[in-house]
Structure 1
Amino acid sequence: MQRPLAGLSRKNVGRELLAGVTLVAIAVPLNIGYAQIAGLPPTAGLYALVVPTVVYALTVSSRQVVASPDAAAAALVASSIGGLAAAGSADYATLALAQAIISGVIFLLLAAFRLGFLANFLSKPILVGFVAGLAFDILVSQIAKMLGVRLPSGAEFVEKVVALFEGLGSIHVWSALIAIGTILLLVIGRRLVAAVPWALIALVLTTTIVVTTGLDQQGVAVLGEVPAGPPAFTWPMLELATWIALVPSAIALTMVTTAEGLLVSRSYGEKRRYRTNPNRDLFAFGLANIASGAQGGFAVGSSTSRTAAMEQAGSRTQLPSLVLAAGTLLLLLFGTALLADIPSPAIGAIVGIAIVPLLGIREFARLWRLERSEFAIAAVCFLVTLLVGSIAGILVAFILALINLARRAANPAIDVLAANDDPTQSLLEDGPMGTVTAPGVVVIRVAAPLFFANGDVFSQAVKRAVEAVPEGGVRHLVIDMEAVTDADFTAAESFASLREWLRERDISVSFSRLRANLSPRLKWLGIFDAETAYSTNRAAIAALSASAAPAEGDVVKDGTAST
């Protein structure tokens, strides 16, 4: 088992500590903004940076992934809990805690049963569309905050857009100027010196301006008083029905975090050549979310932007995360008074800049250019998430994933092979038919497991290949089984019907290059009852086309080893 803080040494400890200070400067303002997106007090975002961060850093296998609430998680929290309680209320905060705990338990179950592969059902187009829908909804709220326009509490996306346009005539000029100045500082500053914590500098400058000029008295919204003190143990007291009502949204949070978190962890591990353990990472996410829910925070996931920032800063260990936890705790103990006058337009600008990459504009353009069907999947997920809600979005995402999987599985590559084993024609594509591998012999290869989704497709493809040859032109059918890794009962039933159809036409059936571990299963299913198969296609073709008896052990013919 990998030790905590793997990769840390005397040579890099200074660099890692400096990266930790940078991480504090990046994470604190962002988490305050994400807490506001989620409809929670600023302390919820800060509490999530203390105990959960320490727990995650000491248990995860990745040396670099930073765990924290992010924009997508915050939007999911707001959209899923908003219909159960009013944002900002005590009940709302309690629901957010419970949701994080449920998500943590689901993570632990995924790790225990090694089910992390389920996140693979969320393909890249699905994730792009889903996250973009959440991000666009957030962006509308942040634009309103930047312009000083009030949006109705708990409003859906369309209502937010309508309220924003209706409020354009009452834009607060000072709020808009603060937001514009913050955006310019972030964009220009990052292009000049990317390593500088420009978000923190922007907050310090705008807060100083608000305090010295009294702009808060002229209508510029500020963060307000932030309670001081460390996070304390708490546990949400809810009825069983309420806990159950939170399960779907907790599943959505878990699956999105799993898909993104494991992908980021694996990519950095491969890049820096250290091993990662997906199930251990899921275990770490589980403990972190339970700790967050029990310490006044909210759902924790992987932060792609902060992980990238640490990579850029030269960090290769989890020490910066521990520095982040310590720095946030010191801020909660001694520095919350410094947060009270932070202008909300500046927070909105910082969050807005942070989520623009989540809109996936480049990804949508690339999908449109390379694969229109994948673009359509991403667009559907985007629209459903945006217009109906996050839970509906994740459900549609899974349904589309299953449909896409079934479509691909039901249409495997099925080819007629030439004598040199090269495919001469795909039986699933339009084109000239009537191809034989050798005189009187057709060798067909299917490149997929045979199961309920494609058993009939395979049978129909074989029939088309046989019927396309002039009557009597096919005496032997050889099925190349090299790429077949499994079969099920439905496929066996379909194959039994196919074999009967071939017998009626006096066509024998043989198998080529059967996998040794698959032979007992095919025998059990009744597809054949022999122990051996062809070793090569060429031997089968030569033997059958010459109408000679194949060598012993070389062919399985009509389910019986020929001699």
Structure 2
Amino acid sequence: MQRPLAGLNRGNLVRELTAGVTLLAIAIPLNIGYAQIAGLPPTAGLYALIVPTVVYALLVSSRQLVVSPDAAAAALVASSIGGLATAGSVDYASLALAQAIICGILFVLMAFFKLGFLANFLSKPILVGFVGGLALDILVSQIAKMLGVKIDSGGEFTEKVVGLVSGLGTANLWSVVIAAVAVAVLLIGKRLARAVPWALVVLILATALVVAADLVDTGVDVLGEVPAGPPTITWPVIEWSSWFVLIPSAIALTLITTAEGLLVSRSYAERNGYKTSPNRDLFAFGLGNIAAGASGSFAMGSSTSRTAAMDQVGSRTQLPSLVLAVGTLLLLIFGTALLADIPSPAIGAIVAVAILPLLGIRDFAAFWRADRFEFAIAAVCFVVTLFVGSIPGIVVAFVLALINLAKRAANPAIDVLQRGGTPTESLLMGAPAGSITAPGIIVIRLAAPLFFANADVFSQSVHNAVRAADGLRYLIVDMEAVTDVDVTGAESFAALKVWLATHNVELGFSRVRPDARERLRQLGMLGDERVFPTNRAAIEELVPDTE
């Protein structure tokens, strides 16, 4: 099992600690905003950064994925609980805590039943499309902050765009200036000195400017006051019927986090050369959400924007999350007054710059050049996630994955290794072409499991090969790549055996995998037919019979 804080060493300790300070500066204002979207007090967002973050960081296999409530989860919390209680009330908060605990239980169950493999069905085009849709949705909200335009950050994408465009006339000049300078500093600074925590520099300078020039009076939006005090361990006390009512929305939240979290985790792992364990990550999400529900917070998932920000500053461990937890705790106890004057345009600029690479523009261009079908998969997933929502995006992603898998499995490579007496190097396992003449023998190889999607294709390929051969007496099926057979494939093969018998062609097998042999016998595919260890052995044994 991978140790906690994998990847941490003396060489990167300072960088990781600095990244933690940057994450602290980004996460605190964002979590306050997400708590407000969810209809909860700002402290609910800050509490998520302490106990749940520590639990997650010590358990997760991903070295970079940052856990936290995000905009999509916050919006779903508000929409699902809003009809059950009044936002801001004690009952509302209790329902939010219960919802987080249910999410945690669902994650633990998924980990126990090892359902993390579901992430393997999501190819790179699906990953790029899904994450890109989420990134663009987040980007619109950040642009609105940068301009000082008020929009519903928890609404649908089209609503956000309409609100942004219609509100351009209300844009605040000082907000635009702060955002523009922040973007310039972040982009130029990254090129000049990548190791410098430019996001933190931007926040400090922007806050100093707001205070010195008294820009709040000009309309620049700031965070405002946040109540002080550490989180306390609690447990939601609600009716049993309320627990059951929360299950559907908890399932939705779990699906969103599973799809986004595992996809983003895998994306960064592949990019930076380390391995992750999806089931372990699900378990970490589970205990993290239970901790959130027991410490006054709400449902948590992965944060695409903060993970991107950490990647940009070079972080490759979970140490920044622990720094974030300690810093948030100290801030809640001693320094909530420091948060009041942080300008929202600067926060929006930091997140916007971090999120740009996740739009996948270069990846889309590469898909277009390489494979139009892969491009279409990425585009459909992007559009559905963006315009319909995260949950439909998840469903479409899995459906597209299955379609893509079935499309490729339905057209496997089927090699005719011997036709009409001219042997090939593939057939003879490296022997020179022409070294053995084997008239009347065909060796055919299916480079995939035999199942319902490709059974007919394989059968037709055999028919065509047999009809094209003169004086054919033996058909040898190379089974090395056939790792499994389903009932439909077996029934199709049974019909093929009857057809071969009517054409006086004897059937045999070569290179049957030991782990598949019993399965073939159970399905009736392997009976009295001869089984050869290699293609060479089949030819050498049958050649005398053909002369």
| Fold shared, TM-score > 0.5 on shorter chain | yes
Quick one: percent identity of the two aligned structures? 56
When structure 1 is superposed on structure 2, of 255-264 and 91-100 the one drifting more is: 91-100
Where does residue 241 of structure 1 map in the other structure? 245
Where does residue 301 of structure 2 map in the other structure? 300
Decide whether aligned partners of structure 1 residues 115 and 527 sit closer, same or farther in structure 2, where only a CA change above 3 A counts: same
Where does residue 254 of structure 1 map in the other structure? 258
Decide whether aligned partners of structure 1 residues 197 and 480 sit closer, same or farther in structure 2, where only a CA change above 3 A counts: same
Where does residue 66 of structure 2 map in the other structure? 67
Where does residue 158 of structure 1 map in the other structure? 158
| C-alpha distance in structure 1 between counterparts of 2:252 and 2:5, whole Å | 34
Decide whether aligned partners of structure 1 residues 67 and 169 sit closer, same or farther in structure 2, where only a CA change above 3 A counts: closer
Where does residue 127 of structure 1 map in the other structure? 127
What TM-score comes out, normalization by structure 1 length? 0.84
When structure 1 is superposed on structure 2, of 363-372 and 33-42 the one drifting more is: 33-42
What letter corresponds to residue 510 of structure 2 in structure 1?
A: S
Decide whether aligned partners of structure 1 residues 213 and 257 sit closer, same or farther in structure 2, where only a CA change above 3 A counts: same
Match of 1:512 among 494, 510, 518: 510
| C-alpha distance in structure 1 between counterparts of 2:42 and 2:351, whole Å | 14
1:28 aligns with 2:31: no
Decide whether aligned partners of structure 1 residues 279 and 144 sit closer, same or farther in structure 2, where only a CA change above 3 A counts: closer
Match of 1:501 among 482, 499, 502: 499
| C-alpha distance in structure 2 between counterparts of 1:204 and 1:75, whole Å | 24
Does the Cα contact within 8 Å between 1:449 and 1:484 map onto a contact in 2?
yes
Does the Cα contact within 8 Å between 1:30 and 1:350 map onto a contact in 2?
no
1:178 aligns with 2:178: yes
Alpha-carbon distance, 1:373 to partner: 1.1
Decide whether aligned partners of structure 1 residues 28 and 105 sit closer, same or farther in structure 2, where only a CA change above 3 A counts: farther
* Residue aligned with 1:541, SS: helix
1:84 aligns with 2:94: no
When structure 1 is superposed on structure 2, of 239-248 and 498-507 the one drifting more is: 239-248
What letter corresponds to residue 67 of structure 1 in structure 2?
A: V
Where does residue 483 of structure 1 map in the other structure? 481
What letter corresponds to residue 406 of structure 1 in structure 2?
A: A
Does the Cα contact within 8 Å between 1:17 and 1:319 map onto a contact in 2?
no
Structure 1 outlier segments of 4+, above 6 Å: 6-9
Does the Cα contact within 8 Å between 1:66 and 1:306 map onto a contact in 2?
no
What letter corresponds to residue 524 of structure 2 in structure 1?
A: G
Kindly provide the CA deviation profile for residues 20-56 of structure 1, in whole angstroms up to 9, marking residues without a partner as x.
2431233332452255257245434432221122212
Kindly provide the CA deviation profile for residues 59-110 of structure 1, in whole angstroms up to 9, marking residues without a partner as x.
3456x435322xxx62431453454356993377666545543432233223
| C-alpha distance in structure 2 between counterparts of 1:144 and 1:266, whole Å | 32
Kindly provide the CA deviation profile for residues 271-317 of structure 1, in whole angstroms up to 9, marking residues without a partner as x.
5xxx865543432232122212332154133764355367x36x76x
* Residue aligned with 2:474, SS: strand
| C-alpha distance in structure 2 between counterparts of 1:127 and 1:136, whole Å | 14
Kindly provide the CA deviation profile for residues 447-481 of structure 1, in whole angstroms up to 9, marking residues without a partner as x.
11112222222112111222234xx5322211111
Does the Cα contact within 8 Å between 1:100 and 1:299 map onto a contact in 2?
yes
What letter corresponds to residue 504 of structure 2 in structure 1?
A: D
Where does residue 191 of structure 1 map in the other structure? 191
* Residue aligned with 1:518, SS: helix
Alpha-carbon distance, 1:214 to partner: 2.0
Does the Cα contact within 8 Å between 1:37 and 1:138 map onto a contact in 2?
no
Decide whether aligned partners of structure 1 residues 319 and 377 sit closer, same or farther in structure 2, where only a CA change above 3 A counts: closer
Decide whether aligned partners of structure 1 residues 380 and 190 sit closer, same or farther in structure 2, where only a CA change above 3 A counts: same
Alpha-carbon distance, 1:199 to partner: 1.6
Structure 2 unaligned residues grouped into runs of 5+: 429-436
Alpha-carbon distance, 1:114 to partner: 2.4
| C-alpha distance in structure 2 between counterparts of 1:34 and 1:361, whole Å | 28
* Residue aligned with 2:407, SS: helix
Where does residue 556 of structure 1 map in the other structure? none
Does the Cα contact within 8 Å between 1:56 and 1:67 map onto a contact in 2?
no
Decide whether aligned partners of structure 1 residues 93 and 140 sit closer, same or farther in structure 2, where only a CA change above 3 A counts: farther
Where does residue 432 of structure 2 map in the other structure? none
Does the Cα contact within 8 Å between 1:48 and 1:300 map onto a contact in 2?
no
Does the Cα contact within 8 Å between 2:479 and 2:513 map onto a contact in 1?
yes
Alpha-carbon distance, 1:443 to partner: 1.1
Where does residue 429 of structure 1 map in the other structure? none
| C-alpha distance in structure 1 between counterparts of 2:505 and 2:456, whole Å | 19
| C-alpha distance in structure 2 between counterparts of 1:162 and 1:466, whole Å | 64
| C-alpha distance in structure 2 between counterparts of 1:250 and 1:359, whole Å | 23
| Aligned-residue CA RMSD (Å) | 3.1
| C-alpha distance in structure 1 between counterparts of 2:56 and 2:253, whole Å | 22
Q: 1:152-551, aligned counterparts within 5 Å? A: 152=152, 154-236=154-236, 237=238, 238-262=242-266, 264=268, 278-295=278-295, 296-301=297-302, 304-305=307-308, 308=311, 312=314, 318-418=318-418, 419-422=423-426, 438-469=438-469, 473-530=471-528, 533-547=531-545
What letter corresponds to residue 170 of structure 1 in structure 2?
A: T
Kindly provide the CA deviation profile for residues 504-559 of structure 1, in whole angstroms up to 9, marking residues without a partner as x.
1111111111122322221121112249611221332344354359xxxxxxxxxx
Does the Cα contact within 8 Å between 2:65 and 2:265 map onto a contact in 1?
no
What letter corresponds to residue 13 of structure 2 in structure 1?
A: E
| C-alpha distance in structure 2 between counterparts of 1:208 and 1:42, whole Å | 23
Structure 1 unaligned residues grouped into runs of 5+: 425-436, 550-563
When structure 1 is superposed on structure 2, of 379-388 and 28-37 the one drifting more is: 28-37
Decide whether aligned partners of structure 1 residues 95 and 463 sit closer, same or farther in structure 2, where only a CA change above 3 A counts: farther
Decide whether aligned partners of structure 1 residues 2 and 199 sit closer, same or farther in structure 2, where only a CA change above 3 A counts: closer
Kindly provide the CA deviation profile for residues 374-414 of structure 1, in whole angstroms up to 9, marking residues without a partner as x.
11111001111111111111111111011111112222111
Decide whether aligned partners of structure 1 residues 379 and 35 sit closer, same or farther in structure 2, where only a CA change above 3 A counts: farther
